[in-house]
Structure 1
Amino acid sequence: MSTKYDNFQVVLDYADSIISGEKIASKEIIQACKRFKEDLEREEYDFNPKDAEFVIKIIEKTFVHDKGERLDGTPLRGAPFLLEPWQKFIIYNLLAFFLKGTKIRRYKEAFIFLCRKNGKTRFAAALSWALALLERRSGSSVYIVAAALRQAVQSFDFINFNLREMGEADNFKVLDNNAEHSISGDLGDGFLHIEALAANPDKQDSLNCNIAIADELHAYRTAKQYNIIKEAMKAYTNKLMIGITTAGDNMNSFCYNRLKYCQKILDKTVTDEAYFVFIAKADEDENGNVDYTSAEQHEKANPNYGITIRPDDIMNDALQAQNDPQQRKDFFAKSLNIYTSAMRAYFNIEEFRVSNRQFDWTLEDLAKLKIQWYGGADLSKLHDLTAAALYGRYTYKGREIDITLTHAFFPITVAHQKAEDDNIPLFGWQDDGVLTMSNTPTVSYDDVINWFKSMRDKGFKIKMVGFDKKFGREFFLGMKKAGFKIVDQPQYFYKKSEGFRRIEVKVKNQELYYVGNQAFEYCVQNVRAIEKTDDMIQYEKVDGDGGTSRIDLFDAAVFGAVQMLEDMSRQSTASQWLNS
């Protein structure tokens, strides 16, 4: 096969060098190469690189660089746009595997995760052009979509530049104005249309395409911005949706969740045969830490290390990040492809996850343990997220472990709109069993009361529940009627500060367990805190009262922690009095 297809041996050598460790690469790229080698042997797929070779040769024979320099300072403008082995590896995977005995390509979707300055925008543009030519007989329509039109237009401009360099601009209809950025042409045996768009789902219901490249996914605010483009492909068999991005700083975003899903594909914990994944990032240890001053980690995160990425420059940036903490998060996201919490977020969510992984109790296990539970509730205003929590402590292997069980509530009548507008995975939480949809226009207090009752029925011994009664006197009275001891707990920051600090310390000591509740993790990542005098702390949502983030489950856990601490204090005082 290598004699017939010029680039097959290049791709095979690349995969082998990654797997053997001869070439440094991230854990995820090693997994992708192993997947490729395994796929070559699988009987359910035919391997035919003809289309992949066509695309590679079209790019290398028709495209040139529009700007840039080699590492030695030689100008690149006008030089042939030659693909690196990792780029050919991606193209081979996307285009060379077919369902056995058919012309149907295996991969319908791709996730390409690259640091900045690895040439991803121009690679995306060149790929768009070559794929449009490949699929011309089907009347190819290619969309290059970004959260901001300006980003998509960068790829469009690169294609337009190359049309002029080829002397082909007059043979295509090129629209490049405030209303439209598109290239169309009749090629005799087919037709192509390439258009740059902003990811605006409100204006894209009538789109129809067979290929789309969603650039800078980390900037997409909602999943709908991606999905509406994907929906535009349903009329085609050999459709291809490519997401290409760098890491961001919103760990509640569509892009971050897509990253985690794609990592599961490579880990083989989920199966998705139609999804190709290429993730270049620095490796993290089990605690989420990265050796960010290591040249080896720099190379793992950057496939173009030593090509477009200057080793000395990235090491200098790493040392600046070491000496100037405010530079660190941006360096992690843009140069190492490591997702970080938002700059204003107080907690590092990875610390919570590491702490949670120390334990594996189920709800059934916890109900049987000798634990005194303390409740907390944070009721929403009308139609928003409501949260309830239980908080307790348990001595395990000589350590005092804090455990919080949280549950969310949301009115089903506005759930779809809020999930979409505010990018909250409400229905995923419902599927996980950590959210109850109230079948009413607002959250039903009865649903929250019934959750506490159901936990009590399962065996959880609930001593008291803290709640600020001015935010729901009906709930307060309903809980008392259900037989719970409910304590009025005003939301003064100096009262909540103690519960906040308790959770913070327990997380640092890897002594907090929350049963892996993703809704709780979501809320933790949205907490912004302000240090006050006397070690007090005041916290709120990262985007303020008018924002779209939520912290309700964390808030409810804090209420429970406060009740536990105050009861511990009362017991200690009583014990001292009796023994005096």
Structure 2
Amino acid sequence: MNETEVLEYARSVVEKRKIAGKEIVQSCQRYLDDLKNPKYDFKTKDADFVIGIIERTIVHDKGERLDGSPLMGEPFILESWQKFIVYNLLGFFEKGTIKRRYKEAFIFLPRKNGKTRFIAALSWGLALLQRRSGSTIYIVGAALEQSMQSFNFIKYNLDEMGESDNFRIRDNNQEHSISGDLGDGSVYIKALAANPDAQDSLNCNVGIADELHAYRTPKQYNVIKEAMKAYTNKLMIGITTAGDNMNSFCYNRLKYCQKILDKTVTAEEYFVFIAKADEDENGEVDYTSAEQHEKANPNYGVTIRPEDIMNDAEQAQNDPQGRKDFFAKSLNIYTSAMRAYFNIEEFRASDNKYSWTLEELAKLPIQWYGGADLSKLHDLTAAALYGRYKYKGKDIDIVVSHAFFPIKAAYKKAEEDNIPLFGWKDDGVLTMSNTPTVSYDDIINWFKTMKRKGFKIKLIGYDKKFGQEFFLGMKRSGFRIVDQPQYFHKKSQGFRRIEVKVKNGEFYYLGNQAFEYCVQNVRAIEKTDDMIQYEKVDGDGGTQRIDLFDASVFGAVQMLEDLEKGTTASKWLGGD
């Protein structure tokens, strides 16, 4: 029924016939790829049902068309991008089952794109679709006032349908809910404020977390997500506009979802739709560009008046505070976010040139240098081997990296900080220590295993203030290990080496997604004399991780220093 329209929307975006931002292009490409994926069945029945319910029973409660004609009481007709979202959420099923693929969604939209009413209409459609399961839907805002906008919209439409008497509507200081027995099932929709301390006994099949940027803690979101464990076809939807706090749950969720679209994180059950303006390589946005306005706003020319948003952009030029609000509300850009230093696509382009396996690398005549980042043994820890290999006349730098994490904390950290630990474990690039902290023995055993495979490890660098026990264990295992304090002028050498090799297409990291994840979280500050100092994009107290990159830098530094010593010794002995 709507399949042709949705398919044309996705194709027009991917083929650049329709203006859309980078992340929407990625979402559409993901959809087109998934239609061919043998892991999934694609069925349109449920999606068409929900779209039909919305368009036949829901009407606008206020507003005007661009020509000024009133919308109140007019049918709520979904735009193509909204149908695209519904088709994704409800169309894909695990092969040969009635289990839906997507269990969670992140919808990121600027203001005035009809977000609140769309999510309210979707709630109503989902409630009717899953009525035979005793549909229970919670619409949760950081404050009750936010969720009440959706609740009041549904309530208004029940009045317009003449169905209010057939539902039990509670709308008082104690409760805001709509419930009803439909004969072949039941529905229950409730508006809540995000108060995790009062919501431990909730039970629902659909949770909608509205205005995520205002959530103060991950628990406000996770307690609703936990309430859905009794259902197979559950769905948790986070929907929001950008904020200005880069340490917030919402910003971390945004970065995580961008990594899903970038394919540095694999999350098959997570649907992502991010509408925002495109940023250049320096993180800048041409905010007076009509094209960027359209990229950020799917409802550009529908509920977003082009002349109004251009007028706001021109005013923002002369008003720094207004500019900040314009970026967040109209372009969906986090204004206080620290920008990552590297372009991950450059790393991928270099990595894709090579295809050596671990077994093949172990047999090559490469001198390997190790690095270990042991700074947080209760958190992510990393080890790496760094070497170079002459290939087709070029020196190719190769890094083999591995992560470690205590299993006791893994579930909590994976949930709160959006680190795909279990995916990395499945990929074989992460070891989970069966201890409260990362076990030194696991790290030592990794180096020993690599040595047994045939890797010729000359020496290993680490910061001794974080692991005397590690030092002794490595010495007992026959490794040459050296102290490597984390001085920025030392690490700068390894950083620059990796940077140059990546740009020259001479860097290989075996497609390790954990390494890519860490690369994307590196923020760097240029110092004098071409030195560089780097850190996590969200600072010491943040939730991002760079440990595998750090360990690789340690290995690069050891290689460079050893090469320098060899060159110096050669000169002393009369060499070139």
Same fold, TM exceeding 0.5?
yes
User: Is the Cα contact below 8 Å between 2:54 and 2:76 reproduced in 1?
Assistant: no
| Larger deviation, residues 559-568 vs 346-355 | 346-355
Alignment correspondent of 2:369: 374
- Rate the CA distance shift 1:314–1:371 in 2: closer, same or farther, 3 A: farther
Q: SS in structure 2 opposite 1:184?
A: strand
1:411 aligns with 2:406: yes
Residue 412 of structure 1: how far off its partner (Å):
3.1
Alignment correspondent of 1:5: none
Report % sequence identity. 65
After superposition, the C-alpha distances for 1:117-145 in whole angstroms (9 at most, x for unaligned) are 43222200122234435655765321123
Q: SS in structure 2 opposite 1:209?
A: coil
Q: 1: CA distance between counterparts of 2:473 and 2:16?
A: 67
Give the TM-score normalised by the residue count of structure 1.
0.75
Alignment correspondent of 2:456: 461
Alignment correspondent of 1:563: 558
Alignment correspondent of 2:4: 12
Residue 247 of structure 1: how far off its partner (Å):
7.9
Q: SS in structure 1 opposite 2:573?
A: helix
- Rate the CA distance shift 1:466–1:85 in 2: closer, same or farther, 3 A: closer
Q: 2: CA distance between counterparts of 1:554 and 1:525?
A: 10
Instruction: Return the letter of the residue paired with 1:66.
Output: K
Q: 1: CA distance between counterparts of 2:543 and 2:454?
A: 36
Alignment correspondent of 2:135: 140
Residue 377 of structure 1: how far off its partner (Å):
1.6
After superposition, the C-alpha distances for 1:417-469 in whole angstroms (9 at most, x for unaligned) are 44444443333322222222233343332322222222122222212112233
Alignment correspondent of 1:4: none
- Rate the CA distance shift 1:75–1:239 in 2: closer, same or farther, 3 A: same
Query: Pick from 558, 568, 571: which aligns with 1:576?
Result: 571
| Larger deviation, residues 368-377 vs 49-58 | 49-58
After superposition, the C-alpha distances for 1:500-532 in whole angstroms (9 at most, x for unaligned) are 222233333333322222322333333343433
The total of aligned residue pairs comes to 556
How well do the aligned residues superpose, as a CA RMSD in angstroms? 5.1
Residue 486 of structure 1: how far off its partner (Å):
1.8
After superposition, the C-alpha distances for 1:67-110 in whole angstroms (9 at most, x for unaligned) are 5x5334556566553333443565567678999999x6867647
User: Is the Cα contact below 8 Å between 2:491 and 2:554 reproduced in 1?
Assistant: yes
Q: SS in structure 2 opposite 1:579?
A: coil
1:487 aligns with 2:520: no
Q: 1: CA distance between counterparts of 2:515 and 2:318?
A: 33
Alignment correspondent of 1:184: 178
Alignment correspondent of 1:54: 53
Q: SS in structure 2 opposite 1:183?
A: strand
User: Is the Cα contact below 8 Å between 1:372 and 1:392 reproduced in 2?
Assistant: yes
Alignment correspondent of 1:362: 357
User: Is the Cα contact below 8 Å between 1:252 and 1:522 reproduced in 2?
Assistant: no
| Larger deviation, residues 359-368 vs 29-38 | 29-38
Q: 1: CA distance between counterparts of 2:336 and 2:213?
A: 13
Q: 1: CA distance between counterparts of 2:389 and 2:311?
A: 47
Q: SS in structure 2 opposite 1:128?
A: helix
| Larger deviation, residues 570-579 vs 326-335 | 326-335
| Larger deviation, residues 133-142 vs 362-371 | 133-142
User: Is the Cα contact below 8 Å between 1:218 and 1:254 reproduced in 2?
Assistant: no
Q: 2: CA distance between counterparts of 1:99 and 1:408?
A: 31
| Larger deviation, residues 397-406 vs 557-566 | 397-406
Give the TM-score normalised by the residue count of structure 2.
0.76
Instruction: Return the letter of the residue paired with 2:171.
Output: L
Alignment correspondent of 2:548: 553
- In the TM superposition, what are the counterparts of 1:441-520 in structure 2 within 5 Å? 441-520=436-515
1:64 aligns with 2:63: no
1:126 aligns with 2:121: yes
| Larger deviation, residues 394-403 vs 328-337 | 328-337
- Structure 1 gaps, min length 5: 1-7
After superposition, the C-alpha distances for 1:359-383 in whole angstroms (9 at most, x for unaligned) are 3222222222222211122223553
User: Is the Cα contact below 8 Å between 1:18 and 1:24 reproduced in 2?
Assistant: no
User: Is the Cα contact below 8 Å between 1:223 and 1:254 reproduced in 2?
Assistant: no
Query: Pick from 173, 176, 184: which aligns with 2:169?
Result: 173
Q: 1: CA distance between counterparts of 2:566 and 2:26?
A: 51
Instruction: Return the letter of the residue paired with 2:54.
Output: V
Alignment correspondent of 1:208: 203
Instruction: Return the letter of the residue paired with 1:383.
Output: H
Q: 2: CA distance between counterparts of 1:11 and 1:536?
A: 55
Residue 475 of structure 1: how far off its partner (Å):
2.4
- Structure 2 gaps, min length 5: 20-24
